[in-house]
Amino acid sequence: MRTNQFLIKSISIFSFVLLVFTSCSSDDSTDSSDDGGDDEVLVTNVDASFFTTSDGSVTITTVPCTLSDGTSTDCYQIVTSSIPTDHTLGPWCPDNISDDASAGGIWLEDGLVYDVDGAFVENLATFYNDDNWLMYDGNGDIYITETEDDCINAANPNVSEAYENFCVECLPSYITDLTQTWLIPISPVLQNTGVFFATGPGGPANTAPSTRGIALNGIEFSAPAPVDNILGAYTLAPFDDAGGHINVNQGYHYHAATGFSTKIEQTDGHASLIGYALDGHGIYELEDSEGNSPTDLDTYRGHTDDTRGYHYHVDAAGNNNFINGLKGAYAI
């Protein structure tokens, strides 16, 4: 049985909401860009004060940068420890097929979110209609990676047979010295034509970065998890309830937005801000305060209003996706 202190599930106690009353009418927080139509589109500058910098897990400095459209401007350089401080991490894998949902994380499949409890692991053969799934022994104990080497080997795209039918669990202790650095333009620059990401929903492969954006706690909004590769090796790499898991090169990262990370509520009931895309445009939750989802999103999952300007809304958690592309220029 695992005793690592990071494997304690917290649904609500450690998540928190920052209530910030924002106004986007001041000259130093907004700008207008031509979006290829007759009307200018409002864009809103990145607000560095929204990030969780007070505990030192995220540091932000201003540096000169060049964007993908050739624009020379200033960017925020955001350095993160790769471990969030606004919610706990894990658990991911239950220990036994008798365990309830509190012992494991979640799995994303066909637009739905499933609890990875003991019963889920026990019934994987039925779930995927494949009798080769058998991730537990005669006592019902689930095969779980136990060391950093196991984590690395089981997460390899070419998993050896020795790690088939393992639940992959990479622990925070494996990434204590890892940092990640991101650049995002302080003043977003909209493009007449955006760019789709090479992986996930959207258009053909291209040179756009695979990372979608950065949560306000400094954690990466990652590209869709390579589910086909994971399942093809009869492994399972669950996400915790916050939608994240760990690999030793990428650190802790999100594949779904489930409401755990820091958010900035909007005074007009609009969906809360949860991060920024790599082009500097805000990323907001899917639903507003009344549970309504926007119906006018473009192909990148963005739209415009008079308060926030152009911004994105995340995809539903079960879709293993955040946004489909970048409408603005990004740092290169």
**Strands 263-265 and 17-19, bridge-based pairing:** parallel
Instruction: Please give the structure tokens belonging to residue 155.
Output: 């997460």
Dist. CA 263–CA 286, nearest whole Å: 12
The pTM for the full model equals 0.87
Beta strands in the chain (DSSP E): 17-19, 30-34, 40-44, 58-66, 72-80, 106-109, 112-115, 180-185, 190-196, 213-215, 220-221, 244-247, 251-254, 263-265, 273-277, 282-284, 302-305, 309-313, 325-328
Query: Which residues contact residue 65 at a Cβ distance below 8 angstroms, ignoring those fewer than 6 apart?
Result: 72, 73, 74, 75, 183, 185, 331
Neighbours of 162 (CB within 10 A): 9
How distant, in Å, are the alpha carbons of 223, 247, 260 from that of 174?
A: 21, 9, 22
Tens-digit pLDDT string for the chain (332 aa): 444 433 334 433 333 334 333 333 333 444 544 444 435 789 999 999 999 999 999 999 999 999 999 999 999 999 999 999 999 999 999 999 999 999 999 999 999 999 999 999 999 999 999 999 999 999 999 999 999 999 999 887 778 889 999 999 999 999 999 999 999 999 999 999 999 998 766 556 566 788 999 999 999 999 998 877 778 889 999 999 999 999 999 999 999 999 999 999 999 999 999 999 999 999 999 999 999 999 999 999 999 999 999 999 999 999 999 999 999 999 99
How distant, in Å, are the alpha carbons of 1, 38, 79, 156 from that of 259?
A: 29, 37, 23, 29
CB 279 within 8 A of CB 126: no
CB 255 within 8 A of CB 225: yes
Residue appearing with tokens 């805000």: 282
Length of the chain: 332
- Rounded to the nearest angstrom, the gap between the alpha carbon of residue 312 and the centroid of all alpha carbons in its chain is 14
